Structure 1
Amino acid sequence: MRYLPNGIWMQKADSYTIQEIGVPSVVLMEHAAQKTIEVMERENIDFSDILIVCGSGNNGGDGFAIARLLQEKGVRVTVFFAGKESSMSEECRLQAQIVRNLGIPIVTVMPEKEYTVLVDALFGVGLNREITGAYCDVIEKMNRLKGRKIAVDIPSGIHSGNGQVMGIAFRADLTVTFQFEKLGMVLFPGKEYTGKTAVVDIGIHSSVFSETQEVAYTLERADLSRMLPKRKPNTHKGSYGKVLMITGSKGMAGAAYLSALAAYICGAGLVQIYTDETNRAILQQLLPEAIISCYMEYEEDGLKDALEWADVVCIGCGLGKSRTAEMLLMNTLKYVSVPCVIDADGLNLLACHKEMLRVVDTPVILTPHMKEMSGLLGCSIPEITEERFQKLQEFTSQYPVICVLKDARTVVAERTNPFFVNTAGNQAMAKAGSGDVLAGVITGLLAGKTPPYRSAVLGVYLHACGGDNAKEQLGSYSVLARDLITGIGQCMKEAEEEQE
């Protein structure tokens, strides 16, 4: 597990380190400069001729310090100061004066020549306004130059909290970021401007993050063995839960199959698929391990019997938006007394009946993609993209649910826990059925008595790691949803072996 702070929380960590621990700001700046150069050396950067673009803040101070340390190594360095003298921070002013005293060239007009390396130290993580005017021109010229492009801490112009481009942004080949990868650097489009990322330790303390739920986090492969529940030797199928999948309208047997199979792969003891009668034969052939129960129209007694049988419920995958589907969803929410996952068409139907979420007395996990979330929130997709954390916080404050907002960077939100941001996975997963698999993964973990929030987080991460395994085997184009399930199984096997 690692933190993904935004600029505000990164500045709080800086302040804590400086004021409470007693590490002077200029010492952190020296560490930042030294570590940046070490990364450049590891990356075999051509040091023939370097231009460093510095702003007026501490990011600019980092840039001046880098220039001095490079000159000590005999590197030819030019500094372009694009900031304002009157706005310089104390540390930036100190570093700039040292550079002047050493005779390192400082220019205030962008040189026309080409350099082997261009270092961006213009704006840091505190940027919260759109870049216009002269600064916009500077970044535009920086992007046009050839040579290797390196960003100090974060590419200038990328919002550290949401990854949005603040008018214009520096396009880095490499970003050397201090202590923690910033939230805006893993979200899109920020990720596309960051290039390769190197996280370096400069001595900033993170203890302030552990005292708040406002700092997002992500997982790493090593976390799987710790989070995955162990299976005890003296158990039977009932020990790992009975899953009810209310999935698959006419012609949508595939969604029912994928979600049910994923639940089984993730450890569920017994799966019952409650589906349209037309899907019976194909599902019995595709997944003989499952119980197949069918309806031709809404039958309240049949639904209630199935709900009473279940330890966990998943509804919505391929369910359709017919009157029967609507009745199934509404009455599932009315009668369910065990954890419930709602996906796909279940979410589209729920958008007109959100008040039902206030009266459900059991954990509910919603798994919307951006369009489905747009329907639940009643706002546009661009609005969600720009303000996803605020929107999710408002939604989960209003409704007592766990929300898994699916995107290139899936976010898990719940009112009493910090945001989880998934950084695994890849473009090969953009295929029909991928969401059905995720719903099944989360449901299978719930069946094994993994707590709901943990099931959502672990499910999202397992699903993404399965996608990474599948891409490694098949490439970006040829991965199918069923391949994700195979990849997930491999991940779980590896995690189990690490537990031993």
Structure 2
Amino acid sequence: MEKKYFVTSAEMKKYDKTTIEHFEVPSLVLMERAALETAEEIEKRFKKGSRVLVISGTGNNGGDGIAVGRILMQRGYEVDFVLIGEQAKCSKETRRQLDIIAKYECPMKSKIESMEYDIIIDALFGIGLSRNVEGIYKNCIETMNDICGFIVSVDIPSGINADTGEVMNAAVKADITVTFAYEKLGHILYPGCEYCGEVLCKDIGITDESFLGEEPLVYSYADRYKEQAAALMPARNRGGNKGTFGKVLVVAGSRNMSGACELCARSAYRIGAGMVKIVTPEENREIIQKNLPEALLSTYSDAEKPEAWEVFSQDLKESMKWADCIVIGPGIGKSGTAHRLFEYTVKESAKDLVIDADGLNLLAESEELQESLRTAALREGRQIIITPHVAEFARLYGCKPEEVKKDIISKTKKLADRLCGTVVCKDARTAVAHYEERCVYLNVTGNDGMATAGSGDVLAGIIAGLLAQGGKGREAALTGVFLHGRLGDLAAEKTGRYAVMAGDLTEQLKYILSDEGKRR
């Protein structure tokens, strides 16, 4: 599957160094290419004669900015250059750029002397920033934001941490960001992505060969799949039947909580599963049969009584044998019955398992059940996929939610390793990690309209439906998360983000997969 990489500061520096030293492409050639690409983006938007302010720091990012300003000056723009910091501390490449503009008799100023500019080129800090911005640098950033001009950040808005997206005390609010070779994590993660404006990633000659066999840690699906989402789907057997396309068992819902199991089951059907059976309390029977008559149904009453549980558990055992995969958790609560259902499902079946919502809270309370899942995964090859939001993740991991948000990639991978499964950590940017894979998937589809009750139930059903059709756990999770986000984007286009409901996501599956055969 075609990938799009998001790199850390250290990775990008490594690839830059490899290109220069191993492939012997001079650093000034890379800098000139970066400057040309940036200048051309400005030329697309502003006519000659526009006033340009270049704010450069002493690192290589500053050299990029100076080169951009020099190119624009030579093409008819009015350019002022400002260097923040001591010239003696400039990098070798930036000193070279200073020497070049000096020969063109361009004065280099040490402070911003005017607030009247059409374009501001932000080249104060690059991707190496790791500490809070203070003093003259903070003042400079605030001044850039105050100028009523179009801000172009070179590589990343100054003040944004390239690895975490964190605002380092102050940050430039760019209209566009022109970055090079690969997008950085700080362009993607919140809040950094909100400071970047439109991100334009340009080829300057640093290619995948610079990985030297070890690809970056974080990736997503290539942008083309946003318009060709159906290409991610498993192939359909034209001669198949309902059994061919898999059987999903949905253990979900509780009294007055019928919606979770309905949303989950409907999504499993919509993504292509052949048969779906719902295990839920008797109180939900009528509404499920009315709203989702396609679903098979197994209900229970008074399951906390030993004699009732003994009878029902046999039915549950048969249902688990019937299924190709199981979803447990949406809306089941934390009652005694919920505990029994969850423990029984974990211990008495080896079928692939998707755990969501209340199932995750029950799992967090039992180290014994976590160990059972680990053992089943390692000894029996049972595929375990968990889909926690940040708070559920924190309970399982043993940390605070804010710690998860600050380190979602690393922590998702560590929890996947601990549980020997696939972990889908749901947030504004969802991370997916598998214990046998080094790299972590970071999802960039979706929007804030999806922050609504039931959205996670839809995702659990989609992933289970893909598993039932023969998908591997990791691939089912990746595809499910990507498609789930696309459904949210399509729903938001139709209703606006404020009006999106979980049911809208499932409805969009009818349209996003309608051309499945044409785009394979």
After superposition, residues 223-234 of structure 1 pair within 5 angstroms as 224-234=229-239
Q: Give the aligned partner of residue 20 of structure 1.
A: 22
Alpha-carbon offset, residue 135 of structure 1: 1.4
SS of the aligned residue for 2:273 comes to: coil
Contact 1:49 / 1:116 at 8 angstroms: preserved in 2?
Answer: yes
Instruction: Please give the root-mean-square deviation of Cα atoms over the aligned residues, in Å.
Output: 1.6
Aligned match of 1:371: 391
- Give the deviation of 1:380 after TM superposition: 1.5
**Partner of residue 275, structure 2:** 270
1:390 paired residue number: 410
In the comparison of the two structures, how many residue pairs are matched? 499
Q: Please tell me whether the aligned partners of residues 413 and 440 of structure 2 are also in contact (alpha carbons under 8 angstroms).
A: no
Which range moved further: 240-249 or 123-132? 123-132
The DSSP-based 3-state class of the residue aligned with 2:278 is strand
Amino acid in the other structure paired with 1:464: G
* Cα offset, 1:209, TM superposition: 4.2
Structure 1 range deviating more: 452-461 or 18-27: 18-27
Q: Which moved more, 1:430-439 or 1:351-360?
A: 351-360
Q: 2:433 aligns with which of 398, 404, 413?
A: 413
- For 2:281 and 2:408, how far apart are their aligned partners in 1? 36
3-state secondary structure, aligned to 2:208:
coil
The answer for the alignment partner of 2:177 in structure 1 is: 175
* DSSP 3-state at the match of 1:318: coil
Deviation, structure 1 residue 378? 2.1
Q: Is the 8 A contact 2:6 2:216 kept in 1?
A: no
- Cα pair 1:77 1:105 within 8 Å, conserved: no
In structure 1, list runs of 5 or more residues that go unmatched. Answer: none
C-alpha contact (below 8 Å) 1:7/1:126 kept by paired residues? yes
Which range moves more in the overlay, 233-242 or 391-400?
Answer: 391-400
Q: Which residue of 1 aligns with 2:446?
A: 425
Are residue 444 (structure 1) and residue 469 (structure 2) matched? no
2: CA distance, partners of 1:212 / 1:169: 32
Structure 2 distance, partners of 1:494, 1:19, is: 47
1:61 paired residue number: 63
**Inter-partner Cα distance in structure 1 for 2:436 and 2:125:** 34
Tell me what 2:315 maps to: 302
For the Cα contact (< 8 Å) 2:54–2:65, is it kept in 1?
Answer: yes
Corresponding letter in the other structure for 1:369:
H
Aligned to 1:235, what secondary structure does the other structure show?
coil
1:478 aligns with 2:499: yes
C-alpha distance in 1 between matches for 2:420 and 2:131? 34
Alpha carbons 2:51, 2:79 under 8 Å: kept: yes
SS in 2 for 1:321: coil
The residue identity in structure 1 corresponding to 2:364 is: A
User: Which stretch of structure 1 is more off in the superposition, 426-435 or 24-33?
Assistant: 426-435
Matches within 5 A, 1:340-351: 340-351=353-364
Give the aligned partner of residue 204 of structure 2: 202
Q: Which amino acid aligns with 1:131?
A: V
Identity across the alignment (%)? 41
After TM superposition, give the deviation of residue 208 of structure 1 in Å.
Answer: 4.3
The separation in 2 between residues aligned to 1:302 and 1:129, in whole angstroms, is 59
User: Which residue identity is paired with 1:291?
Assistant: L
Q: Structure 2: how far apart are the matches of 1:367 and 1:45?
A: 50
| Contact 1:175–1:194 (8 Å) recurs in 2 | yes
What is the DSSP-based 3-state SS (H/G/I as helix, E as strand, rest coil) of the residue aligned with 2:440?
strand
Cα distance in 2, alignment partners of residues 208 and 325 from structure 1: 52
Matches within 5 A, 1:57-456: 57-209=59-211, 211-212=213-214, 214-219=216-221, 220-222=223-225, 224-296=229-301, 297=303, 299=309, 300-360=313-373, 361=376, 362-417=382-437, 418-456=439-477
CA distance in 1, matches of 2:285, 2:361: 25
How big is each residue's C-alpha offset from its partner over 1:317-369, in whole Å with a ceiling of 9 and x where there is no partner? 11111111111112211122111000011111111114423322111111011
- Partners of 1:179 and 1:136 in 2: how far apart? 28
For the structure 1 residues 96 and 342, does the alpha-carbon distance in structure 2 shift closer, same or farther, using more than 3 Å as the test?
A: same
Report the equivalent of 1:10. 12
Question: Which has the larger displacement, 129-138 or 188-197?
Answer: 129-138
> Could you tell me the TM-score, scaled by structure 1's length?
0.96
Q: TM-score, normalised by structure 2?
A: 0.93
Q: Does the 8 Å contact 2:84/2:137 carry over to 1?
A: yes
Output the amino acid matched with 2:300. Answer: Y
1:153-194 per-residue CA deviation (whole Å, 9 max, x = no partner) reads: 111111111111112111111111112221111110001101
For 1:133, give the aligned amino acid.
G
- Kept after mapping to 2: 8 A contact 1:67/1:99: no
